[in-house]
Structure 1
């Protein structure tokens, strides 16, 4: 039923966009790489995939160095909703049709094995990461979807999961139907990953934060180069940077970026829906809770999916918050944050050898919003491959898989058509404002300055900050996200600070600084842009 609280919803935004996971854990301070080094394996990226891989390699007796551009478990992993589950929406009926019964079973086995692996590691390391075993539901409020839900439940059950079709859940409203999968989990991802980091360094391996990787030379051995010129020489290299910072296999043509918003607030413990829920209809709604120190629960609601740089995030936050307050007795919006995912064109993550000629380079990407189980799975799979073991699901996740090329083609063409539309169409559009003088404080816009498209942000004090509007990945034009005050690329999801610094790849170079005193305005609107091809 709807929220019966008599306290009106609090819709003013919280002062921070930091996630609950970051707010409730200590920050890390591993040293930057300060010299050349040699190890058995170097892992690029300190999220759940990278740290899981490094930990598994450590336990396999390999010397490892983890290189993270910022702080570990503070990027995409730090802003997840942290559902640890093999229930990935309505996934198994589709897999049964596209990969056959064996493919669906291998997907279920590998993902459920990841859930159990986290439980095993928590027990082994005595990690208090708020691990809770709860059922996961994929539900619909549309009665017309009941046949699809029943088919999904049957497919998931046939794949080996403890799945059933139900019409009763713990939600405060009655869905038309739902797929329930038991034996799943939710946890505090940073508490878990910081424990893994402490353990792998206790074994003598290294984590280097604030270390940006800019070069990769494959060979025997391989060599990774960092922004400050230092190198790491290793037999094996694992690229686990969410979107690969090196893309020699053109994986960007097989993935599309998706941004989602999160709102969260305290909920009385007796109103806990006791499970993880997702409805993918329309703007999507995902729900779970987490324990709070005072005995209540933190309700975490995710939804409002959109391509980075293409939507009014502020309005979408408002809609998501309104939905939360309408359906649950939450009177305070304590958190607002955003997450970003990469959806693979065939719905299966890309984990394994980096490209057809790769012998000692590996990649983990394309988790499609299910990075917790997929990241743990990737860590085990890549470690096995490095140790010359071939798990039964290797071929399913292999990034080089050509057997699905025809099946992927329509989705890939659609994705690349959208990229081309942004690459060309955004250049044909008039700018958002006629000159930098028209930009209000606290906002940004793309405007021509001295004949060049510039991304201009005016701070609260009135000072303007101008950078190139061309993404340094492949040159698409960025757009301003007013809710998070960032520049975002709609083509492949790169994100930049208002000063042009890289916040999220695949871009590895900052936006070029522009002179804010350049002359812009309508007279320049049709002039050639020397930065454009």
Structure 2
């Protein structure tokens, strides 16, 4: 039975499912640390490991489990080929910045390859070529221009018509010597070495605020910690300063995984330049799996996410040989207006508060490059990429993109309220497993009817900035379309920037 007609499994990341982790919950917080890193994904753990290796006392605080958030829900390509990036950067930022970006990403790839070998972390790291291909001959000139720009940036790029995927590709940009791995095995290995170096990692503790002066104080429901430096590596920055909520665009991509046809995973990593469908493999022989991604949409948009999964399954069965899906999950991504991440001081007058965000679907090398840069910044070392990634950089050319994204936020803020007001009677019509956002009295409510017929009612206002959430019918979550916060059916925070749960309204109707 093909994947598009088979019953898809419940959402569950392949990486989280196949890499059990030790329980780091319930640990006591120390009173102070040289560096407190908030977020145990690839950017946070890379930063923490590098600073611990330099002799700093490091504390990592994670609201969930290590590597179970964004970094545990990715396609995990370790590549400096970031779609058609280098022609854009060359035209937007100049040839020098395009080359600096490429060097930083190649440096991150090389660091992962070397460090995984040196530390003996078995994460299935494998060197492969990466391809961005097109099936549209009208796009060939664009791919050739990208090849030329990537070569000028010093990257291992070439143009080819040889694409070993069952798609009618007419050409591709190929990067040789790129990589892929099991991201959670890599990060669990880093976490173990952080602790061997004397660092501490505490799970299930949510940071609710940071006081910067006179010395940083990190606040949590379980107590506060004094720090010399604080790194916010929570994917979406949780502190409402620096205006990041106005400068990040949030999307989700869907991912499917299952046994590779005939036990042969794809021989490379592939991305369609137009549709953004992607394919790559993992493992070998009987353990070989194929991953297919795509169907991106804005987080919290009113989408039939289940239907998008089915469309992706049909495409993967036809073009990637993925006929049985064993795992599916969503990747959560954010982009900046100029497509370069924000890594550095949190805001212009910050002295000891740092941030890493906006990796735009390329967080494996992007997050690693961020860790390398933040180590240098905190230790007072020069880094040639610092100004490129500066979160406080000024670029007037980004103004139209920022204005467009904030107009989208305003449209959701107003339009969703109007829509909710028009659906007051919809609660009685909900079937088990269905949900709606509606008005109950004077309160905007998010209502879900459970499979047992009971309703669960929450305030529909996101606790970040008050936008109305929307129901994700695949992950069974309440997602905010304004800035990407996500909440479980009981209102608890799944993903920031929100740090407070949705208010429960059960019994109020």
TM-score (ref. length: structure 1): 0.93
Counterpart for residue 323 of structure 2: 331
Which of 269, 274, 278 is the matching residue for 1:281? Answer: 274
Structure 1 residues 22 and 242: alpha-carbon distance in aligned structure 2, compared to 1, 3 A threshold: same
Matched, 1:342 2:309: no
Counterpart for residue 319 of structure 1: 311
Taking the aligned partners of 1:122 and 1:446, their CA distance within structure 2 comes to: 47
Segments of structure 2 that go 5 or more residues without pairing to the other structure are none
| Aligned 1:364-403 pairs, distance under 5 A | 364-402=356-394
For residues 332-380 of structure 1, give each alpha carbon's deviation from its aligned partner in whole angstroms, at most 9, with x where no partner exists: 1111111110111110000001000011110000000100001111111
My pick for the range that moved more, 137-146 or 328-337, is: 328-337
| Aligned 1:1-150 pairs, distance under 5 A | 8-9=2-3, 11-150=5-144
Matched, 1:515 2:500: no
Q: Give the conservation status (yes or no) of the 8 Å contact 2:485–2:498.
A: yes
Counterpart for residue 418 of structure 1: 408
Q: Cα offset for 1:170?
A: 1.1
The alignment partner of 1:419 has SS state of helix
Q: Cα offset for 1:8?
A: 4.2
Q: Give the conservation status (yes or no) of the 8 Å contact 2:11–2:474.
A: no
The count of aligned residue pairs is: 507
Taking the aligned partners of 1:327 and 1:409, their CA distance within structure 2 comes to: 39
Counterpart for residue 201 of structure 2: 207
Q: Give the conservation status (yes or no) of the 8 Å contact 1:36–1:232.
A: yes
Counterpart for residue 530 of structure 1: none
Q: Cα offset for 1:31?
A: 3.2
Structure 1 residues 482 and 223: alpha-carbon distance in aligned structure 2, compared to 1, 3 A threshold: same
Which of 140, 164, 168 is the matching residue for 1:170? Answer: 164
The alignment partner of 2:238 has SS state of coil
Which of 497, 503, 507 is the matching residue for 1:506? Answer: 497
The alignment partner of 1:46 has SS state of coil
The alignment partner of 1:352 has SS state of strand
Q: Give the conservation status (yes or no) of the 8 Å contact 1:13–1:336.
A: no
Q: Give the conservation status (yes or no) of the 8 Å contact 2:14–2:328.
A: no
Which of 235, 239, 244 is the matching residue for 1:251? Answer: 244
Taking the aligned partners of 1:232 and 1:47, their CA distance within structure 2 comes to: 20
Q: Give the conservation status (yes or no) of the 8 Å contact 1:349–1:367.
A: yes
The alignment partner of 2:274 has SS state of coil
For residues 214-239 of structure 1, give each alpha carbon's deviation from its aligned partner in whole angstroms, at most 9, with x where no partner exists: 010103421101023x1111110000
For residues 257-290 of structure 1, give each alpha carbon's deviation from its aligned partner in whole angstroms, at most 9, with x where no partner exists: 00111111111356533111111424x2011100
For residues 363-398 of structure 1, give each alpha carbon's deviation from its aligned partner in whole angstroms, at most 9, with x where no partner exists: 000000100001111111001000101211100000
Taking the aligned partners of 2:345 and 2:376, their CA distance within structure 1 comes to: 12
Matched, 1:480 2:474: no
For residues 29-57 of structure 1, give each alpha carbon's deviation from its aligned partner in whole angstroms, at most 9, with x where no partner exists: 11335345111000000000000000000
Structure 1 residues 354 and 8: alpha-carbon distance in aligned structure 2, compared to 1, 3 A threshold: closer
Q: Cα offset for 1:10?
A: 5.8
Give 4+ residue runs of structure 1 displaced > 6 Å after superposition.
none
Q: Give the conservation status (yes or no) of the 8 Å contact 1:269–1:296.
A: no
Which of 336, 339, 346 is the matching residue for 1:354? Answer: 346
For residues 59-110 of structure 1, give each alpha carbon's deviation from its aligned partner in whole angstroms, at most 9, with x where no partner exists: 1111000000000100001111100010000000000001101000000000
For residues 198-226 of structure 1, give each alpha carbon's deviation from its aligned partner in whole angstroms, at most 9, with x where no partner exists: 01101111000001000101034211010
Taking the aligned partners of 1:8 and 1:269, their CA distance within structure 2 comes to: 15
Taking the aligned partners of 2:9 and 2:3, their CA distance within structure 1 comes to: 17
Q: Cα offset for 1:443?
A: 1.5
Taking the aligned partners of 1:331 and 1:186, their CA distance within structure 2 comes to: 22
Counterpart for residue 187 of structure 2: 193
Which of 435, 444, 455 is the matching residue for 1:453? Answer: 444
Counterpart for residue 482 of structure 2: 491
Q: Give the conservation status (yes or no) of the 8 Å contact 1:172–1:273.
A: no
For residues 471-509 of structure 1, give each alpha carbon's deviation from its aligned partner in whole angstroms, at most 9, with x where no partner exists: 001110011111111101011110001111100001000
Taking the aligned partners of 1:241 and 1:9, their CA distance within structure 2 comes to: 34
Q: Cα offset for 1:17?
A: 1.2
The alignment partner of 2:208 has SS state of strand
Structure 1 residues 54 and 8: alpha-carbon distance in aligned structure 2, compared to 1, 3 A threshold: closer
Matched, 1:409 2:399: yes
Taking the aligned partners of 1:434 and 1:176, their CA distance within structure 2 comes to: 53
